[in-house]
Structure 1
Amino acid sequence: MSETQAETVTLVVRHQVRPSHVPHYEAWLRRIIATASQCPGHLGVDVVRSRQPCVAQFTCVLRFASLQQLQNWIESEQRRQLIAEVEPLLRAGDQLEIAENKEFWFMPESAQAPPPRWKQACVTFLVILPLSLLVPLLWQPLFQRIPWLGGYLPSNVVITLSIVLLVVYLFMPMATRLFDAWLNPTVDEDRS
């Protein structure tokens, strides 16, 4: 037995489904999983579903005992017929990737690219500027009452810590939700 035959082979199938077709797709997915499980060498399947604003992404990870058995499934008439049936429900067709090992790593739901850095910088500036002007003024009465806390190093530590905590836990989550459409524009080409 060769090394290729001895090692599990993974097939990763990605489908982007139009939102209005998700129930039909899920019914189809149950049928193709049942069909694949009957194939020689089939070792199991995992399905990961993620939802983006305009599309539902399904990632199916199928494992086979050998590359040849995987190829037999991919080229089978049953699979061809099932894929032809589901094509109208998909936005980007049937996307396949073969990995000749047991493990497979992928990016979950937030697989979209991050916003451009200049947009991130603009939102961060809009959040930090008002805080950097306001927070020192709010701490001023306490610094006057406790002189050692108003010293250069302690006051800067307190002010910086306050700003960081407010940015990370309160204002940046609110700002990213507020500016989400601008940070992550999506083209909604499917209104059906």
Structure 2
Amino acid sequence: MNIEEDTQNQQVTAVISHYIRPGCQSGYEQWLQGISQVARKFEGHNGVTILRPQPGLRTEYVIILHFDKYRNLCRWMRSSERKEWIERAKPLTEKPENVQFITGLEALVSLPNTISTPPKYKTAFVTWIGVFVCVSTLGYFLAPYLSGLPYLMRQAIMAGLVVILLAYV
């Protein structure tokens, strides 16, 4: 835990990530409540933000821990209380925690190890391909069944089916 000397009196943030074992999420949530209560009692604690995993996509919890000074964060990180709670988490996690430190304004604009979103033109192009394939395929197969309906009704049915296909398939 080394931070430049000139930033040691600035607010410091610890970004901690844990990968949770399957079936252990409930136990981990209880663990989070317990360790958060203990951390709040430490001098300089300025709050905690918890980013929970997206169901079915990731098992990573990200804990963003704020302290007023590096020295106070170090006291918490090296405390026997924290070490005891980390031992309790070991059966719930897949691998050891990853801890990174951020100081000052850097904490407002970046989180380490985050995945950036693709450029908008790529998203637009992929969306266009999906819509084109859905509209073309549905139009080809459903035209005989929808031909007797009014134009707006046909368009509403096609639009609804395209949205359902893009959202759920």
TM-score by length of 1: 0.58
Q: What is the identity percentage for the equivalent residue pairs of Structure 1 and Structure 2?
A: 22
Which residue number corresponds to residue 18 of structure 1? Answer: 21
2:134 is aligned, of 103, 127, 136, to 127
CA distance in 2, matches of 1:65, 1:3: 14
Whether the 8 Å CA contact 1:49–1:58 is kept in 2: the answer is: yes
Which residue number corresponds to residue 165 of structure 2? Answer: 174
CA deviation string 1:22-68 (max 9, x = no partner): 22111111111112112222111122223331654322211111122
Which residue number corresponds to residue 40 of structure 1? Answer: 43
1:67 is aligned, of 50, 70, 81, to 70
CA distance in 1, matches of 2:166, 2:42: 50
Tell me which of the two structures has the higher relative contact order, counting C-alpha pairs closer than 8 angstroms and 6 or more residues apart. 2
- CA 1:80–1:21 in structure 2 vs 1: closer, same or farther (change >3 Å)? same
CA distance in 2, matches of 1:80, 1:66: 20
Aligned to 1:10, the other structure's residue is in SS state strand
Structure with higher Rg: it is 1
Whether the 8 Å CA contact 1:12–1:96 is kept in 2: the answer is: yes
Give the number of aligned pairs. Answer: 150
Whether the 8 Å CA contact 1:87–1:94 is kept in 2: the answer is: no
CA distance in 2, matches of 1:103, 1:15: 21
- CA 1:4–1:106 in structure 2 vs 1: closer, same or farther (change >3 Å)? closer
Whether the 8 Å CA contact 2:131–2:162 is kept in 1: the answer is: no
Whether the 8 Å CA contact 1:6–1:66 is kept in 2: the answer is: yes
CA distance in 2, matches of 1:89, 1:24: 7
Question: Could you say what the CA RMSD is over the residues aligned between the two structures, in angstroms?
Answer: 4.1
Deviation at 1:9, TM superposition (A): 0.6
Which residue number corresponds to residue 99 of structure 1? Answer: 102
Whether the 8 Å CA contact 2:20–2:28 is kept in 1: the answer is: yes
The residue type equivalent to 2:100 in the other structure is: E
CA distance in 2, matches of 1:105, 1:135: 48
Whether the 8 Å CA contact 1:17–1:55 is kept in 2: the answer is: no
CA distance in 2, matches of 1:22, 1:112: 26
CA distance in 2, matches of 1:28, 1:127: 46
The residue type equivalent to 2:133 in the other structure is: L
- CA 1:130–1:56 in structure 2 vs 1: closer, same or farther (change >3 Å)? same
- CA 1:73–1:54 in structure 2 vs 1: closer, same or farther (change >3 Å)? same
